[in-house]
Amino acid sequence: MGSRFDEMRIFSGNGNRALSELICDRLNVPLGDATIVKFSNENIFAKLNESVREKDVFVVQSLSTPNLSDRIMELLILLDACRRASAGRVTAVIPYYAYGRTDKKDQPRVPITARLLADMIQAAGAQQVLTIDLHAGQIQGFFNIPMDELTAMHLLVRYWSEKGWDNVIVVSPDVGFAKRGRNFAEAIGAPLAIAEKRRVQHLASRDNNGNYSSPEIMNLIGDVVGKRCIIVDDEIATGGSILEVVDLLNREGASEIYACCVHPVFAANAVQRLRQSGLRELVTTDTLPLTPEQRWPSLTVLSVSTMLAEVIQRIHSGVSVDTIFSQRHYSAFG
């Protein structure tokens, strides 16, 4: 099936330019020429230095830190520039979707920022969205335009499967991730253990401000004695949850502990904590950029560029994206 657009154009913000270049290399197309400037008054300016009239345009932007607000504005401004330049179709490619944890009102008088961000992306001119492993699947429903959520879990599955290890057990860091953890465990042919955190109300005490707080305890559902444990999660932010699970697995008699995630957010002092955690290896992807200072010998980074390039080509050519999932069994992680 041929594309209804004569040409494809791919532009990148500053959120993950290295990934954008890899995608273009896979597709054998040049990265679009655009200028993005931040003025001294903190206003952001973007200009497309080539025509996109009636072209099929893809804007690649990971909503990464630092300067997350700048990355969001770059995306919105680039989308608006494409729309006003009469692009035939504009697709926002967002490998990491920020504010994914604020997907609902979990207390009074708070916003649903994930929905607000979706509204802004659509208002800026995106006609469809492509992303990877949302923190909460219901974010798909915040968009009134086509929204494809890909998964990079198959990359992690393939990596661990190729080890050919026995005596392996997959560990979900919390009950909320248990379904995807179970699918991951089944994909590599291993059992699943679940770390369960709960508050102990009868041990509640007052803090320095006079407020009551309940201590948390963590239990493990499953037997990890003498086993290689692989902790799997969608993202690692501060690393606090992963470190708690590592401590728990050590106490429960695990022989070796590994971890993997799709999105390496690595906020605050997460890198230092993870390096000192005793993890044998941490495997992640390049949905977010990592500086040389954020890398260490036991960190392995897998690239999502081939997957994104293939999906972008299918969207451009009018070929179903679903066939990728069917062929490679990605759908287990939906």
Is residue 197 part of the annotated active site? The answer reads yes
Report how far Cα 80 is from the mean position of its chain's Cα atoms: 24
Cα–Cα distance for residue pair 179/239, rounded to 1 Å = 21
Report helix angle 113-124 to 68-84, nearest 10.
30
At residue 190, φ and ψ (nearest 5 deg) are: -130, 160
Answer whether 229's CB lies under 8 Å from 249's CB.
yes
> Do residues 62 and 15 make contact, with C-beta atoms less than 8 angstroms apart?
yes
CA distances from 298 to 154, 266, 274 (A): 21, 15, 10
Identify residue 303 by its one-letter amino acid code.
S
DSSP string, 90-134: EEEEESS-TTTT--S--STT---HHHHHHHHHHHHT-SEEEEE--
Instruction: Write down the catalytic residue from 55, 105, 179, 197.
Output: 197
- Return the active site residues: 197
